[in-house]
Structure 1
Amino acid sequence: MKLSNRTCKVWLSLVGLAVLAACSTAHRPAPVEDRSAQGKAPTAPMSAAPAQPEASKPLPGAENAGKPGYYTVQRGDNLTRIGLDHGQGWRDLARWNNIANPDVIEVGQVVRVTPPGSAVESTGVVVRPVAQNGQSTPQQTNAQPGTSVKPAPVVTPAPVSEDIAFAWPASGSVIAGFDEAKNKGLDIGGKAGDAVLAAADGQVVYAGAGLRGYGNLVILKHNSTYLTAYAHNQKLLVKEDQKVRKGDKIAEMGNSDADRVKLHFEVRRQGKPVDPAKFLAAR
């Protein structure tokens, strides 16, 4: 049977379509894997990975923690405050502890607060009260049971000077008395610019505004026992390491870091605040 030309063309077209459909089905491309940020699982940034702990480095002076004559730095401390609380100048503390930058000390750091070689550093010896025969009896605390220990030498505390006669540092009236918990000195009223005078001969161990709550502050060291502090000044007239005489004008009264014009005056005995009124002549 002969097919017409038209029929043949139609038949061939149908065959061609079938072949194309088969090929299309056999070679359909695989699905595309989404590798964009949307399609892949999130990756944690490098900084979010837990850091490997570094070997802990002991803080300076840690081997002296708890020993007599040493102090462990607390939060908020600086050398000026540590010195004031222990009857020392900050420069001495920096020198004794080889601190190159006095503005950088760390919480937990242990600093020497007594001069090298001072009696208080004697370890293992407790000095008992003087007995009736006038001899103090040291107690060796690090002796091992059953061992013979050579008696430690008697430690005689250095005599404490009590003979300083302090003068009033300002002429105004006392507006707030001493309170060991709330006010560590006397507050003396006056006018801005009134003279602030050295209460006794001494050396300036601090002059500045680096101690919070004191404003412009001068600290004088009079001997190994006593310091005096003069706070809230409007102007300081002395420099550190300068020697002054009793009655010298060292500052002008002001209200720096205070609610009114006044002089806050402290007497520190071996770093501990004591009532200045007990050292000043009655008015």
Structure 2
Amino acid sequence: MKNAYLLLVLLLCVQIAACSGRKSPAPVAELYQGKTFRDVKKSSYNSHIYIVEKGDTLFTISWKSGQDYRDIAKFNNIRPPYNIFPGQRLTLKKPPVSISKKSNNRTGQSSKSKTNQVVDPPKKQAYGDSNATVTKGVIASSSSEFPNKITAWLWPTKNSVASGFSNTEHGNKGIDFNGSLGSPILAAAAGKVVYTGDALRGYGKLIIVKHSDSFLSAYAHNDSILVKEQQWVRAGQKIATMGNSGSDSVKLHFEVRYKGQSVDPLRYLPKR
């Protein structure tokens, strides 16, 4: 019994000595608080398939891939409120039209379905109607209606640049403009509004405009939003007013993305 007691004391002394000899602090686990825009700063995802990770939302995935979140929802038969789960396999491209053979009970012959048959018939859902609409003489029904090239880029505001683009790991993935509350924010190029809202943490009230199959632009920290999702806008059209939503100061955070990858807007904006 005495020997067992001495052994226990010896083990305790060894453990205390080991703890006092630690040269580095004990590891601290950081609590996960959900993804912010800095978690998708490297958003370049050109694959047709995406595997959902912890913290992903349909909005962050659309921002990563450069796709409209409604299209992703429709391709994967996801309905509002757009719940997804880690490990889920999502297709980011429109599924190809499959040719099916149907047996004829009377003749035994088979017939091919029409190759131009719509895969997913349009339904009135919260993520938009896929029927073609005509806006000022421009027919727009799908991503294939977007131009291959952007004819012109314009500055989204007349305000001066506060901080520029940085390609470093934690750098600014766009341009920040000095702000004054209520200053007009303009569409940098013609396109279609594919998102308005505040679901992406760190952006505040956000507008995303799709200009082509490859290019998106984003306008963050707005005070008021003057356009609606699925609305077509022209270059230079007033789409919002400047504010400080999701920020500690009034400013405009402006991004340009090419195939989901953040690029320096100054490469496209005209010289002042």
- From the CA coordinates, give the structure whose radius of gyration is larger: 1
In 2: Cα distance, 1:187 partner to 1:117 partner: 40
Q: Which stretches in structure 1 are left out of the alignment for 5+ residues?
A: 1-66, 119-159
Is 1:268 the counterpart of 2:264 in the alignment?
Answer: no
If the length of structure 1 is used for normalisation, what is the TM-score? 0.59
Q: Report how far residue 189 of structure 1 moved.
A: 1.0
Aligned ranges for residues 181-200 of structure 1 at < 5 Å?
Answer: 181=169, 182-200=171-189
Counterpart for residue 78 of structure 1: 57
Is 1:207 the counterpart of 2:199 in the alignment?
Answer: no
**2:154 partner amino acid:** A
Q: Secondary structure at the match of 2:71?
A: helix
Q: CA RMSD in A?
A: 1.8
In 1: Cα distance, 2:174 partner to 2:211 partner: 17
In 1: Cα distance, 2:249 partner to 2:94 partner: 38
Is 1:95 the counterpart of 2:74 in the alignment?
Answer: yes
Conservation of the 8 A alpha-carbon contact between 2:215 and 2:256:
yes
Match of 2:163 among 176, 194, 199: 176
Residues paired across the two proteins, number: 176
In 1: Cα distance, 2:59 partner to 2:254 partner: 16
Q: Which stretches in structure 2 are left out of the alignment for 5+ residues?
A: 1-45, 98-146
Conservation of the 8 A alpha-carbon contact between 2:205 and 2:220:
yes
In 2: Cα distance, 1:94 partner to 1:102 partner: 10
Residues 85 and 203 from structure 1, CA distance in 2 versus in 1: closer, same or farther, beyond 3 angstroms? same
Q: Relative contact order (C-alpha < 8 Å, sep 6+): which is higher?
A: 2
Is 1:165 the counterpart of 2:152 in the alignment?
Answer: yes
Q: Report how far residue 113 of structure 1 moved.
A: 1.5
If the length of structure 2 is used for normalisation, what is the TM-score? 0.62
Match of 2:246 among 248, 253, 257: 257
In 2: Cα distance, 1:80 partner to 1:164 partner: 28
Conservation of the 8 A alpha-carbon contact between 1:79 and 1:102:
no
Q: Report how far residue 163 of structure 1 moved.
A: 4.2
**1:95 partner amino acid:** K
**1:189 partner amino acid:** N
1:138-187 CA-to-partner distances (Å, cap 9, x unmatched) read xxxxxxxxxxxxxxxxxxxxxx9344421000111111111133211100
**1:171 partner amino acid:** K
Q: Work out the percentage of aligned pairs sharing the same amino acid.
A: 49
Match of 1:237 among 226, 230, 233: 226
Match of 1:247 among 198, 219, 236: 236
